[in-house]
Chain A
Amino acid sequence: MFDNIIMLLPEIKESIAQTFMMVAISLSAAVLFGTSLGVYVFLTEKGSIRPNAVANRFLNYTINLVRSFPFIILLVVLIPFTRLVAGTTVGPLAASVPLSIAAIPYFARLVEQALKEVPHGTIEAAIALGAPKRYIIKEVLLNEARSGIILALTVTTISFISYSAMAGMVGGGGIGDLAIRYGYYRFQTDVMIFMVLLLVIIVQVVQFIGNLLAKKLDRRHI
Protein backbone atom coordinates (compact mmCIF):
# COMPACT_ATOMS: atom_id res chain seq x y z
CA MET A 1 0.00 0.00 0.00
CA PHE A 2 2.83 2.36 0.87
CA ASP A 3 5.21 0.86 -1.70
CA ASN A 4 5.47 4.02 -3.75
CA ILE A 5 6.13 6.10 -0.69
CA ILE A 6 8.71 3.73 0.75
CA MET A 7 10.51 3.55 -2.59
CA LEU A 8 10.59 7.32 -2.77
CA LEU A 9 11.76 7.89 0.80
CA PRO A 10 15.24 9.16 -0.19
CA GLU A 11 13.64 11.60 -2.62
CA ILE A 12 11.13 12.65 -0.01
CA LYS A 13 13.88 13.36 2.48
CA GLU A 14 15.74 15.35 -0.10
CA SER A 15 12.61 17.25 -1.04
CA ILE A 16 12.07 18.27 2.58
CA ALA A 17 15.64 19.54 2.75
CA GLN A 18 15.15 21.45 -0.49
CA THR A 19 11.95 23.08 0.72
CA PHE A 20 13.63 24.09 3.95
CA MET A 21 16.56 25.55 2.07
CA MET A 22 14.45 27.56 -0.33
CA VAL A 23 12.17 28.85 2.42
CA ALA A 24 15.10 29.64 4.71
CA ILE A 25 16.92 31.63 2.05
CA SER A 26 13.87 33.58 0.89
CA LEU A 27 12.79 34.29 4.46
CA SER A 28 16.25 35.51 5.37
CA ALA A 29 16.13 37.87 2.41
CA ALA A 30 12.64 38.96 3.46
CA VAL A 31 13.67 39.67 7.05
CA LEU A 32 16.91 41.35 6.07
CA PHE A 33 15.68 43.56 3.24
CA GLY A 34 11.90 43.39 3.53
CA THR A 35 11.90 44.74 7.09
CA SER A 36 13.95 47.80 6.20
CA LEU A 37 11.89 48.32 3.06
CA GLY A 38 8.66 48.13 5.06
CA VAL A 39 10.01 50.51 7.70
CA TYR A 40 11.18 52.95 5.03
CA VAL A 41 7.82 52.93 3.27
CA PHE A 42 6.15 53.59 6.61
CA LEU A 43 8.52 56.44 7.49
CA THR A 44 8.22 58.19 4.14
CA GLU A 45 4.44 58.17 4.13
CA LYS A 46 2.61 61.49 4.28
CA GLY A 47 2.17 62.54 7.91
CA SER A 48 4.74 60.03 9.15
CA ILE A 49 8.08 61.00 10.68
CA ARG A 50 10.17 61.37 7.50
CA PRO A 51 7.63 62.17 4.78
CA ASN A 52 9.07 61.86 1.28
CA ALA A 53 6.37 61.68 -1.36
CA VAL A 54 8.70 60.77 -4.24
CA ALA A 55 10.48 57.92 -2.46
CA ASN A 56 7.24 56.68 -0.97
CA ARG A 57 5.41 56.58 -4.30
CA PHE A 58 8.34 54.91 -6.05
CA LEU A 59 8.65 52.20 -3.42
CA ASN A 60 4.91 51.61 -3.29
CA TYR A 61 4.77 51.18 -7.06
CA THR A 62 7.76 48.85 -7.00
CA ILE A 63 6.28 46.70 -4.24
CA ASN A 64 2.95 46.52 -6.05
CA LEU A 65 4.67 45.73 -9.33
CA VAL A 66 6.60 42.75 -8.01
CA ARG A 67 3.58 41.54 -6.07
CA SER A 68 1.39 41.71 -9.19
CA PHE A 69 3.34 39.00 -10.97
CA PRO A 70 1.98 35.48 -10.80
CA PHE A 71 4.94 33.79 -9.18
CA ILE A 72 5.48 31.34 -12.01
CA ILE A 73 5.88 34.20 -14.49
CA LEU A 74 8.23 36.07 -12.17
CA LEU A 75 10.27 32.90 -12.04
CA VAL A 76 10.67 32.87 -15.81
CA VAL A 77 11.19 36.62 -16.15
CA LEU A 78 13.98 36.51 -13.60
CA ILE A 79 15.91 33.68 -15.27
CA PRO A 80 18.70 35.94 -16.58
CA PHE A 81 19.02 37.60 -13.19
CA THR A 82 19.05 34.22 -11.48
CA ARG A 83 21.87 33.06 -13.73
CA LEU A 84 23.81 36.21 -12.85
CA VAL A 85 23.37 35.76 -9.09
CA ALA A 86 23.40 31.98 -8.61
CA GLY A 87 25.50 31.05 -11.64
CA THR A 88 22.83 28.56 -12.69
CA THR A 89 19.12 28.51 -13.36
CA VAL A 90 18.35 25.03 -12.03
CA GLY A 91 18.24 23.62 -8.55
CA PRO A 92 16.97 24.85 -5.22
CA LEU A 93 19.66 27.52 -4.86
CA ALA A 94 18.68 29.02 -8.22
CA ALA A 95 15.01 28.84 -7.28
CA SER A 96 15.78 30.75 -4.10
CA VAL A 97 16.62 33.84 -6.16
CA PRO A 98 13.13 34.51 -7.55
CA LEU A 99 11.64 33.33 -4.27
CA SER A 100 13.68 35.96 -2.43
CA ILE A 101 12.75 38.65 -4.94
CA ALA A 102 9.10 37.82 -4.36
CA ALA A 103 9.45 37.49 -0.58
CA ILE A 104 11.04 40.89 0.03
CA PRO A 105 8.13 43.10 -1.12
CA TYR A 106 5.61 40.59 0.23
CA PHE A 107 7.06 40.83 3.73
CA ALA A 108 7.74 44.57 3.40
CA ARG A 109 4.05 45.23 2.82
CA LEU A 110 3.06 43.16 5.83
CA VAL A 111 5.65 44.91 8.02
CA GLU A 112 4.34 48.28 6.89
CA GLN A 113 0.82 47.21 7.84
CA ALA A 114 1.99 45.99 11.25
CA LEU A 115 3.71 49.34 11.89
CA LYS A 116 0.50 51.17 11.11
CA GLU A 117 -1.02 49.50 14.16
CA VAL A 118 1.38 51.36 16.45
CA PRO A 119 -0.62 54.25 17.95
CA HIS A 120 0.52 57.59 16.59
CA GLY A 121 0.61 59.02 20.12
CA THR A 122 3.32 56.55 21.12
CA ILE A 123 5.51 57.67 18.25
CA GLU A 124 4.76 61.29 19.07
CA ALA A 125 5.81 60.79 22.69
CA ALA A 126 9.16 59.44 21.47
CA ILE A 127 9.61 62.44 19.17
CA ALA A 128 8.76 64.77 22.06
CA LEU A 129 11.51 63.09 24.10
CA GLY A 130 13.98 64.07 21.39
CA ALA A 131 14.67 60.47 20.42
CA PRO A 132 16.81 60.04 17.30
CA LYS A 133 15.26 58.20 14.36
CA ARG A 134 17.14 54.95 14.96
CA TYR A 135 15.72 54.63 18.47
CA ILE A 136 12.23 55.38 17.26
CA ILE A 137 12.55 52.63 14.65
CA LYS A 138 14.10 50.06 16.95
CA GLU A 139 12.48 50.68 20.31
CA VAL A 140 9.14 52.17 19.33
CA LEU A 141 8.09 50.96 15.88
CA LEU A 142 9.61 47.49 15.68
CA ASN A 143 9.24 46.77 19.38
CA GLU A 144 5.62 47.87 19.70
CA ALA A 145 4.68 46.04 16.48
CA ARG A 146 6.70 42.92 17.26
CA SER A 147 3.73 40.55 17.60
CA GLY A 148 2.29 41.78 14.33
CA ILE A 149 5.65 41.35 12.64
CA ILE A 150 5.96 37.77 13.95
CA LEU A 151 2.51 37.03 12.54
CA ALA A 152 3.54 38.64 9.27
CA LEU A 153 6.58 36.40 9.19
CA THR A 154 4.35 33.39 9.84
CA VAL A 155 2.08 34.27 6.91
CA THR A 156 5.12 34.84 4.70
CA THR A 157 6.65 31.50 5.69
CA ILE A 158 3.48 29.62 4.83
CA SER A 159 3.02 31.43 1.53
CA PHE A 160 6.57 30.70 0.52
CA ILE A 161 6.40 27.04 1.44
CA SER A 162 3.58 26.98 -1.07
CA TYR A 163 5.38 29.16 -3.65
CA SER A 164 8.42 26.93 -3.45
CA ALA A 165 6.34 24.14 -5.03
CA MET A 166 6.37 26.13 -8.26
CA ALA A 167 10.12 26.29 -8.14
CA GLY A 168 9.94 22.78 -9.56
CA MET A 169 9.61 24.56 -12.90
CA VAL A 170 13.30 25.34 -12.71
CA GLY A 171 14.28 22.08 -11.06
CA GLY A 172 14.13 23.56 -7.61
CA GLY A 173 12.64 20.47 -6.10
CA GLY A 174 10.92 20.55 -2.76
CA ILE A 175 7.90 18.89 -1.18
CA GLY A 176 5.28 20.48 -3.43
CA ASP A 177 7.31 19.72 -6.54
CA LEU A 178 7.57 16.06 -5.58
CA ALA A 179 3.81 15.93 -5.05
CA ILE A 180 3.29 17.31 -8.56
CA ARG A 181 5.89 15.19 -10.35
CA TYR A 182 5.16 11.79 -8.81
CA GLY A 183 1.70 12.22 -7.40
CA TYR A 184 0.11 14.11 -10.26
CA TYR A 185 2.09 13.44 -13.44
CA ARG A 186 2.72 9.77 -12.61
CA PHE A 187 -0.67 9.12 -11.07
CA GLN A 188 0.83 7.97 -7.76
CA THR A 189 -2.06 9.30 -5.75
CA ASP A 190 -0.68 7.92 -2.48
CA VAL A 191 2.51 9.92 -2.95
CA MET A 192 0.48 13.04 -3.66
CA ILE A 193 -1.66 12.56 -0.57
CA PHE A 194 1.36 11.85 1.56
CA MET A 195 3.20 14.94 0.38
CA VAL A 196 0.15 17.14 0.82
CA LEU A 197 -0.34 15.75 4.31
CA LEU A 198 3.27 16.56 5.04
CA LEU A 199 2.65 20.14 3.93
CA VAL A 200 -0.50 20.34 6.03
CA ILE A 201 1.45 19.30 9.11
CA ILE A 202 4.29 21.73 8.42
CA VAL A 203 1.86 24.61 7.90
CA GLN A 204 -0.05 23.77 11.09
CA VAL A 205 3.17 23.66 13.07
CA VAL A 206 4.46 26.93 11.62
CA GLN A 207 1.19 28.70 12.36
CA PHE A 208 1.08 27.24 15.87
CA ILE A 209 4.59 28.42 16.66
CA GLY A 210 3.89 31.82 15.10
CA ASN A 211 0.75 32.34 17.17
CA LEU A 212 2.45 31.19 20.34
CA LEU A 213 5.43 33.48 19.85
CA ALA A 214 3.25 36.46 18.90
CA LYS A 215 1.16 35.99 22.00
CA LYS A 216 4.16 35.60 24.24
CA LEU A 217 5.74 38.77 22.91
CA ASP A 218 2.56 40.83 23.20
CA ARG A 219 2.45 42.82 26.43
CA ARG A 220 -0.08 45.34 25.22
CA HIS A 221 -2.89 43.59 27.05
CA ILE A 222 -2.85 41.69 30.32
Chain B
Amino acid sequence: MITLKNISKVYKTKSTQFEAVQPTSITIQQGEIFGIIGFSGAGKSTLLRMINLIEPPTSGEVWFDEVELTDLKLKQLQQKRHEIGMIFQHFNLLLNKTVYGNIEFALKAAGVPKSERAERIHHILKVVELSDKVHHYPAQLSGGQKQRVAIARALVLNPKVLLCDEPTSALDPQTTENILEFLKSINEKLGVTLVIVTHEMEVVNTLCHRVAVMEKGAIQEELTLAQSPTATTSIGKLLIEYREKENRHKQYDIRLGGVIHV
Protein backbone atom coordinates (compact mmCIF):
# COMPACT_ATOMS: atom_id res chain seq x y z
CA MET B 1 0.00 0.00 0.00
CA ILE B 2 2.78 2.40 0.95
CA THR B 3 6.27 1.85 -0.35
CA LEU B 4 9.20 4.09 0.41
CA LYS B 5 12.15 3.51 -1.87
CA ASN B 6 15.55 4.76 -0.75
CA ILE B 7 14.00 7.79 0.79
CA SER B 8 16.30 10.27 2.51
CA LYS B 9 16.22 13.71 4.04
CA VAL B 10 19.23 15.99 4.32
CA TYR B 11 19.03 19.41 5.93
CA LYS B 12 21.64 21.74 4.55
CA THR B 13 22.87 25.01 5.92
CA LYS B 14 25.69 27.02 4.40
CA SER B 15 28.43 25.26 6.33
CA THR B 16 26.94 22.02 7.61
CA GLN B 17 24.67 19.28 6.48
CA PHE B 18 22.61 16.98 8.62
CA GLU B 19 21.23 13.68 7.45
CA ALA B 20 17.92 13.38 9.31
CA VAL B 21 16.92 10.23 7.43
CA GLN B 22 19.46 8.03 5.66
CA PRO B 23 18.28 6.27 2.52
CA THR B 24 15.52 4.01 3.81
CA SER B 25 13.09 1.60 2.20
CA ILE B 26 9.95 0.23 3.79
CA THR B 27 6.71 -1.34 2.66
CA ILE B 28 3.51 -1.00 4.65
CA GLN B 29 0.72 -3.47 3.90
CA GLN B 30 -2.90 -2.58 3.53
CA GLY B 31 -4.82 -2.98 6.79
CA GLU B 32 -1.85 -3.25 9.08
CA ILE B 33 -0.81 -1.07 11.99
CA PHE B 34 2.80 -0.16 11.44
CA GLY B 35 4.79 1.48 14.22
CA ILE B 36 7.95 3.51 14.01
CA ILE B 37 9.69 3.76 17.35
CA GLY B 38 12.87 5.52 18.41
CA PHE B 39 14.38 8.21 20.60
CA SER B 40 13.73 11.85 19.84
CA GLY B 41 15.88 13.06 16.98
CA ALA B 42 16.04 9.59 15.40
CA GLY B 43 14.25 10.91 12.32
CA LYS B 44 11.02 8.97 12.81
CA SER B 45 8.72 12.00 12.48
CA THR B 46 10.59 13.15 9.40
CA LEU B 47 10.15 9.70 7.89
CA LEU B 48 6.41 9.76 8.58
CA ARG B 49 6.04 13.27 7.18
CA MET B 50 7.70 12.18 3.97
CA ILE B 51 4.90 9.68 3.32
CA ASN B 52 2.41 12.45 2.48
CA LEU B 53 5.23 14.73 1.36
CA ILE B 54 4.53 17.52 3.82
CA GLU B 55 8.27 17.04 4.24
CA PRO B 56 9.68 16.74 0.72
CA PRO B 57 12.37 14.05 0.63
CA THR B 58 15.85 14.93 -0.59
CA SER B 59 15.96 11.76 -2.64
CA GLY B 60 13.97 8.58 -3.18
CA GLU B 61 10.43 7.67 -4.14
CA VAL B 62 7.15 7.44 -2.28
CA TRP B 63 4.55 5.08 -3.68
CA PHE B 64 0.97 4.98 -2.49
CA ASP B 65 -1.53 2.59 -4.05
CA GLU B 66 0.52 2.05 -7.22
CA VAL B 67 0.95 5.79 -7.70
CA GLU B 68 4.29 7.53 -7.29
CA LEU B 69 3.51 10.54 -5.10
CA THR B 70 6.96 12.01 -5.62
CA ASP B 71 6.16 12.23 -9.32
CA LEU B 72 2.82 14.06 -9.02
CA LYS B 73 1.99 17.67 -9.76
CA LEU B 74 0.83 19.65 -6.72
CA LYS B 75 -2.86 19.49 -7.69
CA GLN B 76 -2.76 15.71 -8.10
CA LEU B 77 -0.83 15.36 -4.86
CA GLN B 78 -3.52 17.37 -3.07
CA GLN B 79 -6.12 14.93 -4.42
CA LYS B 80 -4.11 11.97 -3.13
CA ARG B 81 -3.68 13.61 0.26
CA HIS B 82 -7.44 13.38 0.77
CA GLU B 83 -6.86 9.62 0.97
CA ILE B 84 -4.07 9.95 3.53
CA GLY B 85 -5.27 11.28 6.87
CA MET B 86 -2.89 12.64 9.46
CA ILE B 87 -3.04 13.42 13.17
CA PHE B 88 -0.46 15.16 15.33
CA GLN B 89 0.90 15.29 18.85
CA HIS B 90 -0.47 18.79 19.40
CA PHE B 91 -3.70 18.17 17.44
CA ASN B 92 -3.19 21.23 15.19
CA LEU B 93 -6.84 22.19 15.11
CA LEU B 94 -8.10 25.52 13.83
CA LEU B 95 -8.63 27.36 17.09
CA ASN B 96 -10.95 30.01 15.67
CA LYS B 97 -13.32 27.40 14.30
CA THR B 98 -15.76 25.19 16.15
CA VAL B 99 -15.60 21.40 16.09
CA TYR B 100 -18.06 21.59 13.21
CA GLY B 101 -15.94 24.18 11.39
CA ASN B 102 -12.78 22.13 11.80
CA ILE B 103 -14.31 19.04 10.24
CA GLU B 104 -16.04 21.11 7.58
CA PHE B 105 -12.66 22.53 6.61
CA ALA B 106 -11.50 19.03 5.64
CA LEU B 107 -14.60 18.58 3.48
CA LYS B 108 -14.14 21.98 1.84
CA ALA B 109 -10.50 21.15 1.19
CA ALA B 110 -11.63 18.01 -0.63
CA GLY B 111 -14.27 19.90 -2.61
CA VAL B 112 -17.26 18.15 -1.00
CA PRO B 113 -20.40 20.15 -1.86
CA LYS B 114 -22.13 22.01 0.93
CA SER B 115 -25.28 19.89 0.75
CA GLU B 116 -23.38 16.76 1.80
CA ARG B 117 -21.26 18.29 4.51
CA ALA B 118 -23.64 18.53 7.48
CA GLU B 119 -24.65 14.89 7.27
CA ARG B 120 -21.08 13.65 7.04
CA ILE B 121 -19.98 15.85 9.91
CA HIS B 122 -22.75 14.65 12.20
CA HIS B 123 -22.06 11.07 11.26
CA ILE B 124 -18.35 11.26 11.98
CA LEU B 125 -18.99 13.09 15.26
CA LYS B 126 -21.13 10.16 16.32
CA VAL B 127 -18.25 7.83 15.48
CA VAL B 128 -15.84 9.78 17.72
CA GLU B 129 -18.57 10.27 20.33
CA LEU B 130 -18.46 14.05 20.31
CA SER B 131 -21.92 14.88 19.00
CA ASP B 132 -22.61 17.04 22.04
CA LYS B 133 -19.53 19.21 21.37
CA VAL B 134 -20.38 20.17 17.81
CA HIS B 135 -20.48 23.92 18.49
CA HIS B 136 -17.60 24.03 20.96
CA TYR B 137 -14.26 25.64 20.19
CA PRO B 138 -11.07 23.59 20.70
CA ALA B 139 -10.11 25.74 23.71
CA GLN B 140 -13.19 24.41 25.48
CA LEU B 141 -12.20 20.76 25.00
CA SER B 142 -9.88 18.41 26.88
CA GLY B 143 -6.76 16.98 25.23
CA GLY B 144 -8.42 13.67 24.47
CA GLN B 145 -11.45 15.39 22.97
CA LYS B 146 -9.22 17.59 20.81
CA GLN B 147 -7.43 14.52 19.49
CA ARG B 148 -10.77 12.92 18.69
CA VAL B 149 -11.79 16.02 16.75
CA ALA B 150 -8.51 15.75 14.86
CA ILE B 151 -9.25 12.08 14.16
CA ALA B 152 -12.76 12.99 12.99
CA ARG B 153 -11.32 15.67 10.72
CA ALA B 154 -9.05 13.08 9.15
CA LEU B 155 -11.65 10.28 8.97
CA VAL B 156 -14.42 12.37 7.44
CA LEU B 157 -12.65 12.09 4.09
CA ASN B 158 -12.65 8.27 4.34
CA PRO B 159 -8.88 7.94 4.05
CA LYS B 160 -7.20 4.62 3.34
CA VAL B 161 -4.33 5.44 5.66
CA LEU B 162 -4.03 7.42 8.86
CA LEU B 163 -0.59 8.78 9.68
CA CYS B 164 -0.20 9.36 13.41
CA ASP B 165 2.64 11.55 14.62
CA GLU B 166 3.03 10.91 18.38
CA PRO B 167 -0.76 10.88 18.75
CA THR B 168 -0.82 10.28 22.51
CA SER B 169 2.38 11.97 23.68
CA ALA B 170 0.53 15.05 24.94
CA LEU B 171 -2.16 13.04 26.74
CA ASP B 172 -2.44 11.55 30.23
CA PRO B 173 -2.25 7.74 30.61
CA GLN B 174 -5.98 7.19 30.82
CA THR B 175 -6.78 9.33 27.80
CA THR B 176 -3.92 7.63 25.98
CA GLU B 177 -5.52 4.27 26.57
CA ASN B 178 -8.85 5.58 25.32
CA ILE B 179 -7.36 7.04 22.13
CA LEU B 180 -5.34 3.86 21.47
CA GLU B 181 -8.46 1.70 21.79
CA PHE B 182 -10.18 4.07 19.44
CA LEU B 183 -7.40 3.91 16.85
CA LYS B 184 -7.49 0.13 17.10
CA SER B 185 -11.21 0.08 16.38
CA ILE B 186 -10.74 2.37 13.38
CA ASN B 187 -8.28 -0.13 12.01
CA GLU B 188 -10.47 -3.15 12.75
CA LYS B 189 -13.88 -1.76 11.81
CA LEU B 190 -13.04 0.64 9.00
CA GLY B 191 -9.98 -1.16 7.70
CA VAL B 192 -7.88 1.99 7.81
CA THR B 193 -4.15 1.32 7.65
CA LEU B 194 -2.30 3.06 10.49
CA VAL B 195 1.26 4.29 10.56
CA ILE B 196 2.21 5.43 14.04
CA VAL B 197 5.31 7.25 15.15
CA THR B 198 5.91 7.06 18.87
CA HIS B 199 8.46 6.80 21.61
CA GLU B 200 6.02 5.06 23.94
CA MET B 201 6.33 1.29 24.35
CA GLU B 202 2.69 1.12 25.37
CA VAL B 203 1.51 2.48 22.03
CA VAL B 204 3.46 -0.12 20.08
CA ASN B 205 2.44 -2.92 22.40
CA THR B 206 -1.26 -2.09 22.34
CA LEU B 207 -1.59 -1.42 18.65
CA CYS B 208 1.14 -2.40 16.29
CA HIS B 209 1.38 -5.49 14.14
CA ARG B 210 4.82 -4.55 12.93
CA VAL B 211 7.32 -2.05 14.21
CA ALA B 212 10.44 -0.45 12.79
CA VAL B 213 13.11 0.61 15.26
CA MET B 214 14.79 3.80 14.18
CA GLU B 215 18.10 5.17 15.37
CA LYS B 216 20.31 7.91 13.98
CA GLY B 217 18.20 8.40 10.88
CA ALA B 218 18.08 4.75 9.86
CA ILE B 219 15.80 1.79 10.46
CA GLN B 220 17.86 -0.63 12.52
CA GLU B 221 15.39 -3.52 12.52
CA GLU B 222 11.81 -4.44 11.73
CA LEU B 223 9.91 -6.66 14.16
CA THR B 224 6.67 -8.56 13.52
CA LEU B 225 5.24 -8.62 17.01
CA ALA B 226 2.92 -11.63 16.69
CA GLN B 227 5.90 -13.86 15.86
CA SER B 228 7.68 -13.25 19.19
CA PRO B 229 10.77 -11.95 17.43
CA THR B 230 14.25 -11.61 18.85
CA ALA B 231 15.47 -8.05 18.84
CA THR B 232 19.02 -6.86 18.33
CA THR B 233 18.72 -3.15 19.09
CA SER B 234 18.45 -1.87 22.65
CA ILE B 235 15.05 -0.31 21.98
CA GLY B 236 13.87 -3.52 20.34
CA LYS B 237 14.99 -5.56 23.36
CA LEU B 238 13.25 -3.14 25.72
CA LEU B 239 10.12 -3.43 23.66
CA ILE B 240 10.08 -7.23 23.72
CA GLU B 241 10.76 -7.18 27.44
CA TYR B 242 7.93 -4.71 28.00
CA ARG B 243 5.63 -6.82 25.90
CA GLU B 244 6.33 -10.00 27.82
CA LYS B 245 5.86 -8.24 31.12
CA GLU B 246 2.54 -6.70 30.00
CA ASN B 247 1.29 -10.04 28.72
CA ARG B 248 2.19 -11.71 32.02
CA HIS B 249 0.27 -8.96 33.80
CA LYS B 250 -2.70 -9.48 31.56
CA GLN B 251 -2.80 -13.21 32.26
CA TYR B 252 -2.40 -12.51 35.94
CA ASP B 253 -5.25 -10.00 35.85
CA ILE B 254 -7.51 -12.46 34.10
CA ARG B 255 -6.67 -15.17 36.63
CA LEU B 256 -7.23 -12.77 39.49
CA GLY B 257 -10.47 -11.65 37.93
CA GLY B 258 -11.58 -15.27 37.78
CA VAL B 259 -10.82 -15.85 41.42
CA ILE B 260 -12.82 -12.84 42.44
CA HIS B 261 -15.74 -13.98 40.38
CA VAL B 262 -15.74 -17.38 42.02
Please report A residues at the B interface, Cβ cutoff 8 Å: 119, 121-122, 124-132, 135, 139-140, 143-144, 146, 217-222
Could you list 21 A-B pairs, sorted by A, with CB under 8 Å?
Answer: A119-B90, A122-B95, A125-B86, A125-B88, A125-B92, A126-B109, A128-B54, A128-B84, A128-B85, A129-B81, A129-B105, A129-B153, A130-B77, A130-B78, A131-B78, A139-B94, A144-B96, A146-B96, A218-B96, A220-B95, A220-B139
Interface centre among A122, A135, A219 (most CB of B within 10 A): A219
User: CA of A85 to CA of B202 in the docked complex: distance in angstroms?
Assistant: 69
* Residue of chain B at shortest CB distance from A218: B96
Q: Does B80 contact A (CB under 8 A)?
A: yes
| Bound complex: CA A125 to CA B106 (Å) | 10
The residue in chain A whose Cβ has the minimal distance to the Cβ of B77 is A130
A126 contacts across to B, CB distance below 8 A: 105, 109
If A124-B54, A131-B105 are given as contacts, then 10 extra A-B residue pairs at C-beta distance below 8 Å, sorted by A number, are A119-B90, A122-B92, A128-B81, A128-B86, A129-B82, A129-B157, A130-B109, A132-B109, A144-B95, A222-B139
Contacts of B178 in A (CB 8 A): none
The residues of A that contact B157 with a CB separation of less than 8 Å are: 129
B97 sits at the interface (CB 8 A): yes
Cα–Cα, bound, A131→B54 (Å): 12
Contact B90 A144 (CB under 8 A): no
Assess whether B223 is interfacial by the CB under 8 Å rule.
no
> Quick one: which of B88, B94, B96 contacts A217, CB cutoff 8 A?
B96
The chain A residue sitting closest to B107, CB to CB, is: A129
B: residues with CB less than 8 A from A are: 52, 54, 77-82, 84-86, 88, 90, 92-97, 105-106, 108-110, 137, 139-140, 150, 153-154, 157, 163
> Which single residue of chain B is at the shortest CB-CB distance from A217?
B96
B90-A121 in contact (CB<8A): yes
Do A219 and B139 touch across chains, with their CB atoms under 8 A apart?
Answer: yes
Number of A-B contacts (CB under 8 A): 81
What is the CB-to-nearest-CB distance from B93 to chain A, in angstroms, rounded to a whole number? 7
In the complex, what distance in Å separates the CA atom of A80 from the CA atom of B96?
45
Which of chain B's residues have a CB closer than 8 A to the CB of A144?
94-96
Of the residues B90, B110, B163, contact of A130 by C-beta under 8 Å: B110
**Assembled-state Cα–Cα distance A21/B84 (Å):** 51
CB pair A129–B94 under 8 Å, yes or no, is: no
Known pairs A121-B92, A143-B94, A143-B96; A131 contacts B109 (CB<8 A): yes
Given the complex of chains A and B, what is the CA–CA distance between A139 and B95 in angstroms? 11
* Given A124-B54, A219-B139, A135:B95 Cβ within 8 A: no
Are A135 and B105 interface neighbours, CB within 8 A?
Answer: yes
List the A side residues contacting B92 at CB < 8 Å.
119, 121-122, 124-125
In angstroms, how far is the closest chain A Cβ from the Cβ of B117? 14
Q: Which residues of B contact A222 (CB under 8 A)?
A: 139-140
Measured between beta carbons, the chain B residues less than 8 angstroms from A130 are: 77-82, 109-110
Which residue of chain A has its CB nearest to the CB of B87?
A: A125
The CA-CA distance from A144 to B95 in the complex, in Å, is 7
The smallest C-beta distance from A92 to any residue of chain B, in angstroms, reads: 37
Considering the complex, give the chain A residue whose CB is closest to the CB of B163. Answer: A128
Evaluate contact between B94 and A140: CB separation under 8 angstroms: yes
The distance in angstroms between the C-alpha atoms of A130 and B154, with both chains bound, is 11
Q: Which residues of A contact B85 (CB under 8 A)?
A: 128
A132 touches B94 (CB 8 A): no
B103 to chain A, nearest CB (A): 11
Q: Are B80 and A127 in contact (CB under 8 A)?
A: no
Q: Give Cα distance in the complex from A7 to B153, angstroms.
A: 66
